[in-house]
Amino acid sequence: MADPVLVELPRVSTHKQLALVTGGGSGIGEAVAHALAGRGCRVVVCGRTEEKLTHVAETAPPGAAEIVPHVCDVADRAAVAAMIARCEGELHGLGVVVNAAGLNVPGRLLQDATGEEWDRVMAANATGAFNVLKAAVPAMKERGDGLCVNISSVAGVRALLLGGIPYAASKFAMTSLGLALSTELKDTGVRVTNVYPGEVETPILDQRPEPPSAERRALMLQPEDVAAAVMLAATLPARANVLELTVKPTVQEFV
């Protein structure tokens, strides 16, 4: 059988040369940051741990554009506003925003989840995405162009106990935020994409009450698989909008 022919994707278009990736210190966010930088997009990676962000910047693929670390908790609305102001001022304007920040907690069932766990998950996964979009979208609208990508989850379209009640509720909120915003922005030139990954081999798995085995993890999506889905949305022409995209491990049931 002949080797498959690899088709090089186009670079992110020139009007989208600065991207922001939240949750960029590991997992999906790290993979998305490297993919965008590898296609010539200067990337701001945001997260709560400076050492992780610096590592992402230092391990960019050969020939990649610059990756700029920026420490920020997306649940902190004032800090997010300051970060977006930096992107729009010092770094000359955002073309792509990827909301990849997210967390989960051990309490998955209603009887186990604490109020503090609920608040933490909602603040990071739902309110954090709102904070970023609220700050970033106005300048995109003014320019008449831009792409906002929300890394939701299959738990954001199916209420799966695997992810747990707080996580599913937060991801449903993120999903609804993206779909409603897409309708709001449809005549502005700003596009919104929701990506729904299934199980992905990332550090968030360690928060499961029973972390999966190495054998199970080997069957899951890898972060670069989700990054490839983001790149589809980022490299299409402005006339085309991927509104929703589900990507799951082949072996994972989705009902």
The span from the CA of 39 to the CA of 64, in Å, is 7
Please report the pLDDT score of residue 208 as a whole number. Answer: 78
> What are the residue numbers of the active site?
167
Render pLDDT for 167-210 as a digit per residue (tens, 0 to 9).
999 999 999 999 999 999 999 999 999 999 999 998 877 777 77
The span from the CA of 180 to the CA of 184, in Å, is 6
The span from the CA of 220 to the CA of 153, in Å, is 14
Q: Name the DSSP letter for residue 184.
A: H
Please report the pLDDT score of residue 5 as a whole number. Answer: 40
| Range 227-232 average pLDDT | 96
- What residue segments make up the domains of the chain, in order of their start? 14-247
128-143 helix and 77-88 helix, angle to the nearest 10 degrees: 30
Domain range 14-247, CATH architecture: 3-Layer(aba) Sandwich (3.40)
> pTM for the whole thing?
0.91
> Does residue 185 or residue 255 have the better pLDDT?
185
The span from the CA of 150 to the CA of 178, in Å, is 7
| Range 58-87 average pLDDT | 97
Q: Decide if pLDDT at 218 tops 80.
A: yes
